[in-house]
Protein backbone atom coordinates (compact mmCIF):
# COMPACT_ATOMS: atom_id res chain seq x y z
CA UNK A 1 0.00 0.00 0.00
CA UNK A 2 1.23 3.36 -0.80
CA UNK A 3 2.70 5.16 2.04
CA UNK A 4 0.90 8.27 3.07
CA UNK A 5 3.22 11.30 3.42
CA UNK A 6 2.35 14.43 5.22
CA UNK A 7 2.96 17.61 3.23
CA UNK A 8 5.24 20.05 4.99
CA UNK A 9 3.87 23.60 4.84
CA UNK A 10 6.14 26.26 3.11
CA UNK A 11 7.74 28.89 5.31
CA UNK A 12 6.55 32.42 4.77
CA UNK A 13 9.53 34.80 4.16
CA UNK A 14 10.18 37.11 7.02
CA UNK A 15 9.51 40.73 6.33
CA UNK A 16 12.55 43.02 6.65
CA UNK A 17 12.60 44.91 9.83
CA UNK A 18 11.74 48.57 9.79
CA UNK A 19 15.32 49.48 10.69
CA UNK A 20 16.69 47.42 7.84
CA UNK A 21 14.30 49.03 5.40
CA UNK A 22 15.42 52.46 6.54
CA UNK A 23 19.06 51.50 6.06
CA UNK A 24 18.41 50.19 2.55
CA UNK A 25 16.43 53.28 1.74
CA UNK A 26 19.21 55.55 3.02
CA UNK A 27 21.81 53.52 1.15
CA UNK A 28 19.91 53.97 -2.10
CA UNK A 29 19.53 57.67 -1.48
CA UNK A 30 23.23 58.05 -0.75
CA UNK A 31 24.09 55.94 -3.78
CA UNK A 32 21.91 58.06 -6.03
CA UNK A 33 23.32 61.23 -4.50
CA UNK A 34 26.81 59.88 -4.97
CA UNK A 35 26.11 59.08 -8.59
CA UNK A 36 24.58 62.54 -9.06
CA UNK A 37 27.54 64.24 -7.43
CA UNK A 38 30.00 62.20 -9.46
CA UNK A 39 28.04 63.02 -12.59
CA UNK A 40 27.97 66.70 -11.65
CA UNK A 41 31.72 66.70 -11.01
CA UNK A 42 32.32 64.81 -14.26
CA UNK A 43 30.27 67.34 -16.24
CA UNK A 44 32.17 70.21 -14.63
CA UNK A 45 35.49 68.47 -15.26
CA UNK A 46 34.67 67.82 -18.91
CA UNK A 47 33.58 71.44 -19.38
CA UNK A 48 36.85 72.80 -17.98
CA UNK A 49 39.40 74.28 -20.38
CA UNK A 50 42.73 72.57 -20.92
CA UNK A 51 44.81 73.12 -17.79
CA UNK A 52 48.07 72.71 -19.68
CA UNK A 53 46.96 75.22 -22.31
CA UNK A 54 46.15 77.85 -19.67
CA UNK A 55 49.32 77.14 -17.73
CA UNK A 56 51.36 77.74 -20.86
CA UNK A 57 49.19 80.47 -22.31
CA UNK A 58 50.64 82.59 -25.08
CA UNK A 59 50.94 86.33 -24.63
CA UNK A 60 52.60 89.25 -26.41
CA UNK A 61 56.35 89.32 -25.99
CA UNK A 62 57.44 91.66 -23.21
CA UNK A 63 59.93 94.30 -24.31
CA UNK A 64 62.02 95.88 -21.55
CA UNK A 65 63.83 99.06 -22.59
CA UNK A 66 67.11 99.85 -20.86
CA UNK A 67 69.14 103.08 -20.87
CA UNK A 68 72.82 103.31 -21.75
CA UNK A 69 73.74 102.27 -18.20
CA UNK A 70 71.51 99.19 -18.26
CA UNK A 71 68.76 100.66 -16.06
CA UNK A 72 65.14 99.90 -16.92
CA UNK A 73 63.25 102.78 -18.55
CA UNK A 74 59.87 101.12 -19.05
CA UNK A 75 58.40 98.05 -20.66
CA UNK A 76 55.91 97.30 -23.39
CA UNK A 77 53.37 94.46 -23.46
CA UNK A 78 54.29 93.54 -19.90
CA UNK A 79 51.51 91.68 -18.08
CA UNK A 80 53.84 89.86 -15.72
CA UNK A 81 56.85 90.75 -13.65
CA UNK A 82 60.18 89.02 -14.09
CA UNK A 83 59.74 85.32 -13.17
CA UNK A 84 60.87 84.50 -9.62
CA UNK A 85 61.20 81.30 -7.64
CA UNK A 86 61.79 80.09 -4.11
CA UNK A 87 65.39 79.42 -5.12
CA UNK A 88 66.11 82.87 -6.56
CA UNK A 89 64.35 85.00 -3.93
CA UNK A 90 65.66 85.97 -0.51
CA UNK A 91 63.91 83.51 1.87
CA UNK A 92 62.05 86.26 3.73
CA UNK A 93 60.09 87.15 0.58
CA UNK A 94 58.30 83.82 0.21
CA UNK A 95 58.29 83.22 3.96
CA UNK A 96 56.20 86.36 4.48
CA UNK A 97 53.66 85.00 2.00
CA UNK A 98 53.46 81.55 3.56
CA UNK A 99 53.33 82.97 7.10
CA UNK A 100 50.25 85.09 6.47
CA UNK A 101 48.45 83.10 3.76
CA UNK A 102 48.97 79.43 4.56
CA UNK A 103 51.32 78.64 7.44
CA UNK A 104 50.82 74.85 7.07
CA UNK A 105 51.35 74.97 3.30
CA UNK A 106 54.25 72.51 3.34
CA UNK A 107 52.37 70.06 5.60
CA UNK A 108 48.87 69.62 4.19
CA UNK A 109 47.53 68.46 0.84
CA UNK A 110 45.42 70.41 -1.68
CA UNK A 111 43.03 71.46 1.09
CA UNK A 112 43.66 72.10 4.77
CA UNK A 113 40.92 70.52 6.92
CA UNK A 114 42.36 72.09 10.08
CA UNK A 115 42.47 75.47 8.41
CA UNK A 116 38.90 75.19 7.18
CA UNK A 117 37.68 74.11 10.63
CA UNK A 118 39.53 76.98 12.28
CA UNK A 119 38.05 79.46 9.78
CA UNK A 120 34.50 78.16 10.31
CA UNK A 121 34.80 78.44 14.11
CA UNK A 122 36.25 81.95 13.81
CA UNK A 123 33.47 83.06 11.47
CA UNK A 124 30.76 81.60 13.73
CA UNK A 125 32.29 83.29 16.77
CA UNK A 126 32.33 86.70 15.07
CA UNK A 127 29.02 86.29 13.25
CA UNK A 128 30.60 87.23 9.96
CA UNK A 129 33.32 86.06 7.59
CA UNK A 130 36.59 87.10 9.21
CA UNK A 131 38.90 84.49 7.72
CA UNK A 132 39.06 81.92 4.97
CA UNK A 133 40.46 78.45 4.76
CA UNK A 134 41.79 78.46 1.20
CA UNK A 135 45.27 77.07 0.79
CA UNK A 136 47.94 78.60 -1.44
CA UNK A 137 47.27 75.72 -3.85
CA UNK A 138 43.59 76.67 -4.00
CA UNK A 139 44.46 80.32 -4.47
CA UNK A 140 46.84 79.36 -7.27
CA UNK A 141 44.02 77.44 -8.92
CA UNK A 142 41.79 80.52 -8.71
CA UNK A 143 44.44 82.98 -9.88
CA UNK A 144 45.57 81.01 -12.91
CA UNK A 145 42.60 79.02 -14.14
CA UNK A 146 39.33 80.42 -12.87
CA UNK A 147 37.16 83.51 -12.98
CA UNK A 148 36.05 85.39 -9.88
CA UNK A 149 32.45 84.13 -10.14
CA UNK A 150 30.99 82.95 -6.83
CA UNK A 151 29.36 79.71 -7.95
CA UNK A 152 29.36 76.19 -6.58
CA UNK A 153 30.65 74.93 -9.93
CA UNK A 154 33.65 77.26 -9.70
CA UNK A 155 34.42 75.95 -6.20
CA UNK A 156 34.27 72.38 -7.49
CA UNK A 157 36.60 73.31 -10.33
CA UNK A 158 38.92 74.88 -7.79
CA UNK A 159 39.14 71.64 -5.82
CA UNK A 160 39.71 69.56 -8.97
CA UNK A 161 42.50 71.87 -10.11
CA UNK A 162 44.03 71.93 -6.64
CA UNK A 163 44.35 68.14 -6.63
CA UNK A 164 45.72 68.27 -10.19
CA UNK A 165 48.36 70.82 -9.17
CA UNK A 166 49.42 68.89 -6.07
CA UNK A 167 49.80 65.69 -8.12
CA UNK A 168 51.77 67.38 -10.87
CA UNK A 169 54.04 69.80 -9.00
CA UNK A 170 55.91 69.88 -5.73
CA UNK A 171 55.22 72.53 -3.09
CA UNK A 172 58.01 74.88 -4.17
CA UNK A 173 56.79 74.83 -7.78
CA UNK A 174 53.22 75.60 -6.70
CA UNK A 175 54.49 78.48 -4.59
CA UNK A 176 56.47 79.72 -7.60
CA UNK A 177 53.30 79.62 -9.72
CA UNK A 178 51.42 81.55 -7.06
CA UNK A 179 54.08 84.26 -6.68
CA UNK A 180 54.37 84.73 -10.45
CA UNK A 181 50.65 84.79 -11.25
CA UNK A 182 49.00 86.62 -8.35
CA UNK A 183 47.67 90.02 -9.45
CA UNK A 184 48.34 92.83 -6.98
CA UNK A 185 48.74 96.05 -8.95
CA UNK A 186 47.60 97.60 -12.20
CA UNK A 187 46.35 94.35 -13.71
CA UNK A 188 49.90 93.02 -13.83
CA UNK A 189 50.76 89.61 -12.46
CA UNK A 190 53.42 88.55 -10.01
CA UNK A 191 55.08 89.88 -6.90
CA UNK A 192 57.98 91.16 -9.00
CA UNK A 193 55.63 93.54 -10.80
CA UNK A 194 54.28 94.68 -7.43
CA UNK A 195 57.80 95.17 -6.06
CA UNK A 196 58.84 97.29 -9.03
CA UNK A 197 55.64 99.33 -9.02
CA UNK A 198 55.45 99.88 -5.26
CA UNK A 199 59.08 100.16 -4.26
CA UNK A 200 61.05 100.57 -7.48
CA UNK A 201 63.08 97.39 -6.93
CA UNK A 202 62.86 93.83 -8.31
CA UNK A 203 61.47 91.15 -6.02
CA UNK A 204 65.00 89.83 -5.52
CA UNK A 205 65.90 93.10 -3.74
CA UNK A 206 62.93 93.32 -1.38
CA UNK A 207 63.70 93.95 2.28
CA UNK A 208 61.90 92.13 5.11
CA UNK A 209 59.66 95.16 5.63
CA UNK A 210 58.82 95.48 1.93
CA UNK A 211 58.16 91.73 1.72
CA UNK A 212 55.71 92.03 4.61
CA UNK A 213 53.96 94.95 2.91
CA UNK A 214 53.52 92.99 -0.32
CA UNK A 215 52.33 89.92 1.60
CA UNK A 216 49.86 92.20 3.38
CA UNK A 217 48.25 93.00 0.02
CA UNK A 218 47.36 89.39 -0.73
CA UNK A 219 44.19 89.49 1.39
CA UNK A 220 42.72 92.40 -0.64
CA UNK A 221 45.14 94.15 -3.04
CA UNK A 222 43.29 97.47 -3.25
CA UNK A 223 42.29 97.69 0.40
CA UNK A 224 45.79 96.97 1.65
CA UNK A 225 47.78 98.74 -1.08
CA UNK A 226 50.79 100.67 0.29
CA UNK A 227 50.10 103.26 -2.42
CA UNK A 228 46.36 103.78 -1.93
CA UNK A 229 45.91 102.86 1.74
CA UNK A 230 49.36 102.99 3.36
CA UNK A 231 48.01 103.04 6.93
CA UNK A 232 45.98 99.84 6.48
CA UNK A 233 48.91 98.25 4.69
CA UNK A 234 51.33 99.03 7.50
CA UNK A 235 48.94 97.69 10.17
CA UNK A 236 48.56 94.39 8.33
CA UNK A 237 52.29 94.25 7.51
CA UNK A 238 52.95 94.30 11.26
CA UNK A 239 50.67 91.26 11.54
CA UNK A 240 52.72 89.56 8.84
CA UNK A 241 55.94 90.27 10.75
CA UNK A 242 54.38 88.87 13.94
CA UNK A 243 53.43 85.67 12.14
CA UNK A 244 56.92 85.36 10.67
CA UNK A 245 58.35 85.50 14.20
CA UNK A 246 55.82 82.95 15.54
CA UNK A 247 56.67 80.53 12.77
CA UNK A 248 60.41 80.93 13.24
CA UNK A 249 61.21 82.62 9.95
CA UNK A 250 62.76 85.74 11.48
CA UNK A 251 63.89 86.81 14.94
CA UNK A 252 62.07 89.26 17.15
CA UNK A 253 64.85 91.83 16.64
CA UNK A 254 64.56 91.48 12.86
CA UNK A 255 60.80 92.01 13.10
CA UNK A 256 61.23 95.11 15.26
CA UNK A 257 63.76 96.60 12.86
CA UNK A 258 61.50 95.84 9.89
CA UNK A 259 58.47 97.34 11.65
CA UNK A 260 60.36 100.61 12.14
CA UNK A 261 61.12 100.82 8.40
CA UNK A 262 57.54 100.25 7.22
CA UNK A 263 56.46 103.25 5.13
CA UNK A 264 54.06 104.21 2.34
CA UNK A 265 55.16 103.09 -1.12
CA UNK A 266 56.57 105.81 -3.36
CA UNK A 267 55.60 104.15 -6.63
CA UNK A 268 57.48 104.13 -9.90
CA UNK A 269 58.71 107.23 -11.64
CA UNK A 270 56.51 108.59 -14.43
CA UNK A 271 57.67 106.57 -17.43
CA UNK A 272 55.79 108.88 -19.80
CA UNK A 273 59.00 110.89 -19.70
CA UNK A 274 60.52 108.21 -21.93
CA UNK A 275 57.51 107.30 -24.07
CA UNK A 276 58.49 109.29 -27.15
CA UNK A 277 61.86 107.58 -26.94
CA UNK A 278 60.60 104.04 -26.45
CA UNK A 279 58.00 104.45 -29.22
CA UNK A 280 60.83 105.53 -31.54
CA UNK A 281 63.03 102.61 -30.41
CA UNK A 282 60.17 100.15 -30.95
CA UNK A 283 60.07 101.13 -34.62
CA UNK A 284 63.82 100.59 -34.93
CA UNK A 285 63.49 97.28 -33.08
CA UNK A 286 61.01 96.01 -35.66
CA UNK A 287 63.29 97.07 -38.50
CA UNK A 288 66.22 95.21 -36.90
CA UNK A 289 64.68 91.86 -36.07
CA UNK A 290 61.22 91.88 -37.63
CA UNK A 291 58.53 89.88 -35.84
CA UNK A 292 59.39 88.62 -32.38
CA UNK A 293 57.78 86.15 -29.99
CA UNK A 294 60.24 86.05 -27.12
CA UNK A 295 60.60 88.41 -24.15
CA UNK A 296 63.63 90.63 -24.58
CA UNK A 297 65.79 93.40 -23.22
CA UNK A 298 66.52 96.28 -25.60
CA UNK A 299 69.72 98.08 -24.66
CA UNK A 300 69.43 101.66 -25.89
CA UNK A 301 71.69 104.71 -26.08
CA UNK A 302 69.48 106.95 -23.93
CA UNK A 303 71.20 109.11 -21.31
CA UNK A 304 68.53 109.45 -18.62
CA UNK A 305 70.26 112.37 -16.92
CA UNK A 306 70.20 114.33 -20.16
CA UNK A 307 66.61 113.30 -20.81
CA UNK A 308 65.65 114.43 -17.31
CA UNK A 309 67.38 117.77 -17.88
CA UNK A 310 65.42 118.34 -21.08
CA UNK A 311 62.17 117.45 -19.30
CA UNK A 312 63.01 119.96 -16.57
CA UNK A 313 63.82 122.79 -19.00
CA UNK A 314 61.00 122.60 -21.55
CA UNK A 315 57.92 123.37 -19.39
CA UNK A 316 59.47 126.64 -18.24
CA UNK A 317 60.32 127.81 -21.77
CA UNK A 318 57.78 126.74 -24.37
CA UNK A 319 54.61 128.32 -22.97
CA UNK A 320 51.59 127.49 -25.13
CA UNK A 321 53.66 126.09 -27.99
CA UNK A 322 54.82 122.60 -28.87
CA UNK A 323 58.46 121.56 -28.91
CA UNK A 324 60.88 118.82 -29.80
CA UNK A 325 64.49 118.11 -28.84
CA UNK A 326 67.06 115.66 -30.23
CA UNK A 327 70.45 115.08 -28.63
CA UNK A 328 73.06 112.84 -30.22
CA UNK A 329 76.76 112.15 -30.08
CA UNK A 330 78.64 113.09 -33.23
CA UNK A 331 78.92 109.38 -34.10
CA UNK A 332 75.10 109.12 -34.30
CA UNK A 333 74.27 107.66 -30.87
CA UNK A 334 70.96 109.23 -29.88
CA UNK A 335 71.15 110.33 -26.24
CA UNK A 336 67.80 112.03 -25.66
CA UNK A 337 64.51 112.71 -27.44
CA UNK A 338 61.50 114.81 -26.58
CA UNK A 339 58.66 114.66 -29.06
CA UNK A 340 56.26 117.07 -27.44
CA UNK A 341 55.14 118.94 -24.36
CA UNK A 342 53.05 116.13 -22.85
CA UNK A 343 52.91 112.51 -24.04
CA UNK A 344 49.64 111.80 -22.23
CA UNK A 345 47.91 114.60 -24.15
CA UNK A 346 49.53 113.85 -27.51
CA UNK A 347 51.55 110.82 -28.63
CA UNK A 348 52.56 112.50 -31.90
CA UNK A 349 56.36 112.63 -32.06
CA UNK A 350 57.38 116.04 -33.35
CA UNK A 351 61.06 115.08 -33.40
CA UNK A 352 60.33 112.87 -36.40
CA UNK A 353 57.67 115.00 -38.12
CA UNK A 354 58.27 117.10 -41.21
CA UNK A 355 58.65 120.87 -40.80
CA UNK A 356 60.40 123.66 -42.72
CA UNK A 357 63.94 124.17 -41.32
CA UNK A 358 64.30 127.76 -42.52
CA UNK A 359 67.81 129.18 -42.24
CA UNK A 360 68.99 126.12 -40.29
CA UNK A 361 69.42 124.51 -43.73
CA UNK A 362 71.87 127.17 -44.99
CA UNK A 363 75.07 125.39 -43.82
CA UNK A 364 74.46 122.90 -46.65
CA UNK A 365 74.81 125.74 -49.20
CA UNK A 366 77.86 127.22 -47.49
CA UNK A 367 79.55 123.79 -47.45
CA UNK A 368 79.21 123.75 -51.25
CA UNK A 369 80.87 127.17 -51.46
CA UNK A 370 83.69 126.16 -49.10
CA UNK A 371 84.34 122.98 -51.10
CA UNK A 372 84.61 125.11 -54.23
CA UNK A 373 87.44 127.25 -52.91
CA UNK A 374 85.75 129.96 -50.88
CA UNK A 375 86.81 130.75 -47.31
CA UNK A 376 85.13 132.50 -44.38
CA UNK A 377 86.99 135.66 -45.42
CA UNK A 378 85.75 135.61 -49.00
CA UNK A 379 83.81 138.77 -49.92
CA UNK A 380 80.20 138.48 -50.98
CA UNK A 381 77.53 141.06 -51.68
CA UNK A 382 74.33 141.21 -49.66
CA UNK A 383 71.80 143.06 -51.79
CA UNK A 384 68.25 142.44 -53.05
CA UNK A 385 68.26 139.45 -55.37
CA UNK A 386 65.61 137.50 -57.26
CA UNK A 387 65.50 134.29 -59.25
CA UNK A 388 62.46 134.49 -61.47
CA UNK A 389 59.51 135.41 -59.28
CA UNK A 390 61.31 134.27 -56.17
CA UNK A 391 62.72 137.31 -54.36
CA UNK A 392 62.86 136.74 -50.59
CA UNK A 393 64.08 139.54 -48.37
CA UNK A 394 66.28 139.43 -45.28
CA UNK A 395 64.49 138.82 -42.00
CA UNK A 396 65.12 142.33 -40.67
CA UNK A 397 64.69 144.03 -44.07
CA UNK A 398 68.29 145.33 -44.00
CA UNK A 399 71.06 144.69 -46.52
CA UNK A 400 74.75 144.91 -45.60
CA UNK A 401 76.45 145.30 -48.99
CA UNK A 402 80.00 143.98 -49.23
CA UNK A 403 80.58 141.56 -46.33
CA UNK A 404 82.60 138.43 -45.66
CA UNK A 405 81.14 134.98 -46.06
CA UNK A 406 81.46 134.57 -42.28
CA UNK A 407 79.41 137.72 -41.63
CA UNK A 408 76.74 136.65 -44.10
CA UNK A 409 76.47 133.31 -42.31
CA UNK A 410 76.43 134.78 -38.79
CA UNK A 411 73.71 137.28 -39.70
CA UNK A 412 71.80 134.62 -41.66
CA UNK A 413 71.16 136.87 -44.68
CA UNK A 414 69.07 135.38 -47.49
CA UNK A 415 70.54 136.84 -50.66
CA UNK A 416 74.02 135.32 -50.28
CA UNK A 417 73.01 131.60 -50.18
CA UNK A 418 70.74 132.22 -53.18
CA UNK A 419 73.63 133.79 -55.11
CA UNK A 420 75.93 130.92 -54.08
CA UNK A 421 73.34 128.45 -55.38
CA UNK A 422 73.10 130.30 -58.65
CA UNK A 423 76.90 130.19 -58.94
CA UNK A 424 77.44 126.52 -58.05
CA UNK A 425 74.09 125.08 -59.12
CA UNK A 426 71.04 123.73 -57.30
CA UNK A 427 72.18 120.19 -58.06
CA UNK A 428 75.40 120.78 -56.11
CA UNK A 429 73.34 121.82 -53.08
CA UNK A 430 71.06 118.75 -53.34
CA UNK A 431 74.10 116.51 -53.82
CA UNK A 432 75.69 117.94 -50.67
CA UNK A 433 72.45 117.37 -48.74
CA UNK A 434 72.46 113.78 -49.98
CA UNK A 435 76.00 113.25 -48.72
CA UNK A 436 74.84 114.57 -45.35
CA UNK A 437 71.93 112.13 -45.32
CA UNK A 438 68.82 114.06 -46.45
CA UNK A 439 69.16 114.86 -50.17
CA UNK A 440 66.52 112.51 -51.56
CA UNK A 441 63.82 114.17 -49.43
CA UNK A 442 64.25 117.70 -50.80
CA UNK A 443 62.54 119.55 -53.63
CA UNK A 444 64.66 120.75 -56.55
CA UNK A 445 63.82 124.44 -56.26
CA UNK A 446 65.53 127.57 -54.98
CA UNK A 447 63.22 127.92 -51.98
CA UNK A 448 64.87 124.76 -50.65
CA UNK A 449 68.08 126.79 -50.21
CA UNK A 450 66.31 128.90 -47.57
CA UNK A 451 64.75 125.91 -45.87
CA UNK A 452 61.34 125.58 -47.53
CA UNK A 453 61.64 121.80 -48.10
CA UNK A 454 60.40 119.93 -45.07
CA UNK A 455 62.61 117.67 -42.99
CA UNK A 456 62.54 116.26 -39.48
CA UNK A 457 64.45 117.55 -36.50
CA UNK A 458 66.29 114.23 -36.51
CA UNK A 459 67.38 114.76 -40.12
CA UNK A 460 68.47 118.32 -39.45
CA UNK A 461 70.44 117.38 -36.34
CA UNK A 462 72.12 114.61 -38.35
CA UNK A 463 73.44 117.19 -40.82
CA UNK A 464 75.19 119.04 -38.02
CA UNK A 465 76.43 115.77 -36.50
CA UNK A 466 78.38 115.10 -39.71
CA UNK A 467 79.97 118.53 -39.44
CA UNK A 468 80.99 117.95 -35.82
CA UNK A 469 82.08 114.37 -36.56
CA UNK A 470 85.06 115.75 -38.50
CA UNK A 471 83.14 115.44 -41.74
CA UNK A 472 82.59 111.69 -41.45
CA UNK A 473 79.25 110.06 -42.25
CA UNK A 474 76.76 109.67 -39.43
CA UNK A 475 73.88 107.24 -39.17
CA UNK A 476 71.68 107.85 -36.10
CA UNK A 477 71.05 104.81 -33.93
CA UNK A 478 69.21 104.09 -30.69
CA UNK A 479 69.86 100.37 -30.07
CA UNK A 480 73.19 98.83 -29.14
CA UNK A 481 72.07 95.31 -28.29
CA UNK A 482 69.00 93.10 -27.94
CA UNK A 483 68.99 90.03 -25.71
CA UNK A 484 66.44 87.54 -24.48
CA UNK A 485 65.70 87.25 -20.77
CA UNK A 486 68.46 84.64 -20.39
CA UNK A 487 71.06 87.02 -21.81
CA UNK A 488 71.38 85.40 -25.24
CA UNK A 489 72.23 88.05 -27.83
CA UNK A 490 69.57 88.41 -30.54
CA UNK A 491 71.12 91.49 -32.15
CA UNK A 492 74.22 93.56 -31.56
CA UNK A 493 75.19 96.71 -33.39
CA UNK A 494 78.19 96.19 -35.63
CA UNK A 495 78.89 99.61 -37.12
CA UNK A 496 80.65 99.94 -40.43
CA UNK A 497 83.55 102.32 -40.80
CA UNK A 498 82.30 105.86 -41.50
CA UNK A 499 83.22 107.40 -44.80
CA UNK A 500 84.69 110.86 -45.34
CA UNK A 501 81.86 113.13 -46.45
CA UNK A 502 83.63 116.50 -46.13
CA UNK A 503 87.22 117.60 -46.68
CA UNK A 504 89.06 118.42 -43.41
CA UNK A 505 89.62 122.03 -44.52
CA UNK A 506 85.94 122.43 -45.30
CA UNK A 507 85.08 121.12 -41.82
CA UNK A 508 87.50 123.55 -40.19
CA UNK A 509 85.99 126.51 -42.02
CA UNK A 510 82.43 125.42 -41.16
CA UNK A 511 83.35 125.10 -37.50
CA UNK A 512 84.52 128.70 -37.62
CA UNK A 513 81.29 129.86 -39.25
CA UNK A 514 79.13 128.03 -36.68
CA UNK A 515 81.22 129.49 -33.86
CA UNK A 516 80.55 133.04 -35.09
CA UNK A 517 76.78 132.42 -34.90
CA UNK A 518 76.92 132.04 -31.10
CA UNK A 519 79.37 134.92 -30.67
CA UNK A 520 78.10 138.35 -29.53
CA UNK A 521 76.19 139.84 -32.44
CA UNK A 522 75.39 136.47 -34.04
CA UNK A 523 71.82 135.26 -34.40
CA UNK A 524 72.48 132.49 -31.87
CA UNK A 525 74.12 134.62 -29.20
CA UNK A 526 71.58 133.55 -26.57
CA UNK A 527 72.85 129.98 -26.83
CA UNK A 528 76.34 130.96 -25.77
CA UNK A 529 77.68 129.39 -22.58
CA UNK A 530 80.75 127.50 -21.46
CA UNK A 531 81.47 124.51 -23.65
CA UNK A 532 79.37 125.57 -26.65
CA UNK A 533 81.38 125.22 -29.86
CA UNK A 534 78.88 126.66 -32.31
CA UNK A 535 75.37 126.46 -33.68
CA UNK A 536 72.83 127.78 -36.17
CA UNK A 537 69.38 129.33 -35.92
CA UNK A 538 66.46 128.82 -38.27
CA UNK A 539 63.04 130.47 -38.63
CA UNK A 540 60.47 129.54 -41.30
CA UNK A 541 58.00 131.91 -42.98
CA UNK A 542 55.73 133.86 -40.64
CA UNK A 543 57.48 132.35 -37.61
CA UNK A 544 55.75 129.01 -38.02
CA UNK A 545 58.89 127.12 -37.01
CA UNK A 546 61.83 128.17 -34.86
CA UNK A 547 65.01 126.06 -34.68
CA UNK A 548 68.40 125.97 -33.06
CA UNK A 549 71.03 123.29 -33.54
CA UNK A 550 74.20 123.58 -31.49
CA UNK A 551 77.18 121.53 -30.42
CA UNK A 552 79.49 120.90 -27.51
CA UNK A 553 82.61 118.77 -27.48
CA UNK A 554 80.62 115.52 -27.37
CA UNK A 555 77.00 116.40 -28.14
CA UNK A 556 74.88 117.85 -30.95
CA UNK A 557 71.46 119.10 -29.82
CA UNK A 558 68.59 120.20 -32.04
CA UNK A 559 65.59 122.18 -30.77
CA UNK A 560 62.30 122.97 -32.54
CA UNK A 561 59.40 125.17 -31.46
CA UNK A 562 56.06 125.69 -33.19
CA UNK A 563 52.34 124.87 -33.42
CA UNK A 564 50.93 121.54 -34.55
CA UNK A 565 48.45 123.27 -36.85
CA UNK A 566 51.21 125.32 -38.56
CA UNK A 567 49.75 128.63 -37.40
CA UNK A 568 52.31 131.43 -36.87
CA UNK A 569 53.84 132.01 -33.46
CA UNK A 570 54.48 135.41 -31.92
CA UNK A 571 56.53 137.47 -34.36
CA UNK A 572 59.24 137.93 -31.74
CA UNK A 573 59.96 134.19 -31.59
CA UNK A 574 62.83 133.11 -33.83
CA UNK A 575 65.41 130.35 -33.68
CA UNK A 576 67.67 132.75 -31.84
CA UNK A 577 65.22 133.32 -28.97
CA UNK A 578 63.46 130.47 -27.14
CA UNK A 579 65.12 127.54 -29.00
CA UNK A 580 68.59 129.00 -28.42
CA UNK A 581 67.76 129.57 -24.76
CA UNK A 582 66.46 126.00 -24.39
CA UNK A 583 69.73 124.72 -25.83
CA UNK A 584 71.76 126.84 -23.39
CA UNK A 585 69.75 125.71 -20.36
CA UNK A 586 70.05 122.04 -21.32
CA UNK A 587 73.82 122.44 -21.61
CA UNK A 588 73.95 124.34 -18.33
CA UNK A 589 71.99 121.65 -16.49
pLDDT one-digit tens code per residue, 76-108: 776 777 889 999 999 999 999 999 998 989 988
More confident site: 268 or 471: 471
Domain ranges of the chain: 79-260, 311-588
- Using DSSP's 3-state secondary structure scheme, residue 335 falls into strand
Position 586 scores a pLDDT of: 95
Assign 59 a pLDDT band (cuts: 50, 70, 90).
low
Is pLDDT of 72 > 90?
no
Segment of 80-84, 152-156, 362-366 carrying the highest mean pLDDT:
362-366
The mean per-residue pLDDT over the stretch 269-284 comes to: 85
Q: What is the CATH number of domain 311-588?
A: 3.40.710.10
In contact, 556 and 465? CB cutoff 8 Å: yes
The mean per-residue pLDDT over the stretch 499-503 comes to: 95
The mean per-residue pLDDT over the stretch 292-304 comes to: 90
Is pLDDT of 126 > 70?
no
| Of the listed ranges 52-61, 140-149, 246-255, 410-419, the one predicted with least confidence | 52-61
Query: Which alpha helices (DSSP H) does 12-151 contain, by range?
Result: 18-47, 51-55, 91-101, 113-126, 136-145
CA 272 to chain centre: 8
- The number of beta carbons lying within 10 Å of the beta carbon of residue 235 is 13
Q: Which residue, among 88, 310, 276, has the nearest Cα to 180 in the 3D structure? A: 88
Assign 293 a pLDDT band (cuts: 50, 70, 90).
confident
Position 57 scores a pLDDT of: 57
The mean per-residue pLDDT over the stretch 416-440 comes to: 92
Position 385 scores a pLDDT of: 86
Is pLDDT of 148 > 60?
no
pTM here is: 0.74
> d(Cα 73, Cα 66) in Å, to the nearest integer?
5
More confident site: 196 or 26: 196
Position 56 scores a pLDDT of: 58
Those residues with Cβ within 8 angstroms of residue 546's Cβ, 6 or more apart along the chain or in another chain: 358, 538, 539, 540, 560, 561, 562, 569, 573, 574, 575, 577, 578, 579
> Which letter does DSSP use for residue 455 in this model?
B
| Of the listed ranges 28-37, 157-166, 445-454, the one predicted with least confidence | 28-37
Question: pLDDT exceeding 90 applies to what percent of the chain?
Answer: 59
> d(Cα 402, Cα 382) in Å, to the nearest integer?
6
pLDDT one-digit tens code per residue, 534-554: 999 999 999 999 999 999 999
> d(Cα 581, Cα 199) in Å, to the nearest integer?
37
Is pLDDT of 453 > 90?
yes
The mean per-residue pLDDT over the stretch 353-379 comes to: 96
Is pLDDT of 202 > 70?
yes
Is pLDDT of 23 > 90?
no
More confident site: 529 or 440: 529
> d(Cα 215, Cα 219) in Å, to the nearest integer?
8
Assign 1 a pLDDT band (cuts: 50, 70, 90).
very low
Is pLDDT of 486 > 90?
no
Q: Which residue, among 563, 558, 554, 564, has the nearest Cα to 579 in the 3D structure? A: 558
| Fold of the CATH domain 79-260 | Penicillin binding protein transpeptidase fold (1.10.3810)
In this structure, the chain runs to a length of: 589
> d(Cα 254, Cα 514) in Å, to the nearest integer?
63
More confident site: 24 or 310: 310
Position 18 scores a pLDDT of: 64
Dihedral angle sign, alpha carbons of residues 379, 383, 388, 391: positive
The mean per-residue pLDDT over the stretch 489-511 comes to: 94
- The number of beta carbons lying within 10 Å of the beta carbon of residue 402 is 10
Output the 3-class SS for 382-404. ECCCCECCECCCCCCCCCCEEEE
Amino acid sequence: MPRCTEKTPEKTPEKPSFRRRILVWLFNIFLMCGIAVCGYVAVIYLSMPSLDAILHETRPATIVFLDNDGNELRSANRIMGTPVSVETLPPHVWQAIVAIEDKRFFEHGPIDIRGITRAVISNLRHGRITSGGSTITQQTAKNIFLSREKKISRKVQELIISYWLENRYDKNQILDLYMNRVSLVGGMRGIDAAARTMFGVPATKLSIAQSAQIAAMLKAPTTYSPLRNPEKNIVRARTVLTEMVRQGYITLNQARAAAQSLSPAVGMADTNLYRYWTDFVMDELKSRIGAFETDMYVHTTLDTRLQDSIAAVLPNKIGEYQSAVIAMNPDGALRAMSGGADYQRSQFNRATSLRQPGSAFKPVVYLVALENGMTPDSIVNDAPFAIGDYNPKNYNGRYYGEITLATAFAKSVNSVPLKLTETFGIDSVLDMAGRLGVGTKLRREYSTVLGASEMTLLDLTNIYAVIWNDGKSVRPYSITKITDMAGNVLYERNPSEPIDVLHPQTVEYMHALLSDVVAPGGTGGRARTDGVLGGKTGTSNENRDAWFVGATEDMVIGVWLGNDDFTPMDSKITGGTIPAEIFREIITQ
